[in-house]
Amino acid sequence: MKKNRIAFACSAALLFVSLSQARGEDPPQWKDLFNGKDLTGWANVNTDEDTWSVRDGLLVCTGHPIGVMRSEKQYENFLLHIEWRHMEAGGNSGVFGWSAGSVPEGRNLPTGLEVQMLELDWVNQHPMKDGSKPPIAYVHGELFGAGGMTTVPDNPRGTRSKSIENRCKGKGEWNVYDVVFVDGVVKLAVNGKFVNGVSQASVKKGYLCLESEGAEIHFRNIRILELPPGVTSEEQTAPVVGD
């Protein structure tokens, strides 16, 4: 059943591209969300001015303070390609989809669907209550609704969905995430293989947010391919915020 849902989401995206070409329409195109020069297209939500910068064509996040930077526009159905590497052992970060563009008072992070980005050594620094180490797949590539968003996990770990295979690399090495966001369904491929997913997200349209969470992380090649909208109610749409 899980494989069928992955195949459906990906096949739907490919079918739309094929139909557009058959009708003589311009097919949807991948668009860069980061131009490699500056932070055009992004808005700081609740971090410092120097939390985010551009260095040697890379988007660099210091990790301090904890918070997010958001896209200037909302997205509903889309494919996301993003490459990242942690520069510190045990580094923590993530990308939020279908997210609120603001953070409530008293919190650091917004409501949204978080795609977890954790460096492999995180498991060594965060033992279980009984002293044992959690499996790596518990933490890298986890998917979960944050801040009140609800989902149905493919591979449950409580309300979260864990990766079914360890595929993330260690400190200083680049990881590739390809993520399908379609009609409340999210499927994550880690370094070339689909390993996780959730469905029935309570919000299906919102902002993309990049997370600062205590450790330096670099991003590159952030690209999006927008797909047709679905039947999404006002309750399933994040509130629009100004710049």
Residue-range definition of the domain harbouring residue 213: 30-228
What pLDDT, on the 0 to 100 scale, is given for residue 17? 56
Instruction: Read off the pLDDT band of 138 (50, 70, 90).
Output: low
Least Cα distance to 120 among 158, 85, 153, 160 occurs for: 85
What pLDDT, on the 0 to 100 scale, is given for residue 11? 55
- Inside any domain, residue 10: no
What pLDDT, on the 0 to 100 scale, is given for residue 127? 76
What pLDDT, on the 0 to 100 scale, is given for residue 136? 63
Q: What is the pLDDT of residues 7-58, one digit of tens each?
A: 555 555 555 555 455 556 788 899 999 999 999 999 999 999 999 999 999 9
- Inside any domain, residue 233: no
What pLDDT, on the 0 to 100 scale, is given for residue 6? 47
- Inside any domain, residue 90: yes
- Inside any domain, residue 149: yes
Range scoring the smallest mean pLDDT among 21-25, 103-107, 137-141, 191-195: 21-25
How deeply is 28 buried, as exposed, middle or buried, from its count of CB atoms within 10 A (0-12, 13-18, 19+)?
middle
8 Å CB contact between 166 and 136: yes
Q: Which CATH number do you get for residue 221? A: 2.60.120.560
- Inside any domain, residue 13: no
- Inside any domain, residue 145: yes
Residue 164 above 50 pLDDT? yes
- Inside any domain, residue 214: yes
- Inside any domain, residue 24: no
Q: What is the pLDDT of residues 212-240, one digit of tens each?
A: 999 999 999 999 999 999 999 999 999 99
Q: What is the pLDDT of residues 62-115, one digit of tens each?
A: 999 999 999 999 999 999 999 999 999 889 999 999 999 999 999 999 999 999
What pLDDT, on the 0 to 100 scale, is given for residue 116? 95
Question: SS3 breakdown of the chain: % helix, strand, coil, rounded to 5?
Answer: 15, 40, 50
What pLDDT, on the 0 to 100 scale, is given for residue 128? 76
Return the structure tokens found at 138: 């518990």
Tally of domains within the chain: 1
8 Å CB contact between 33 and 221: no
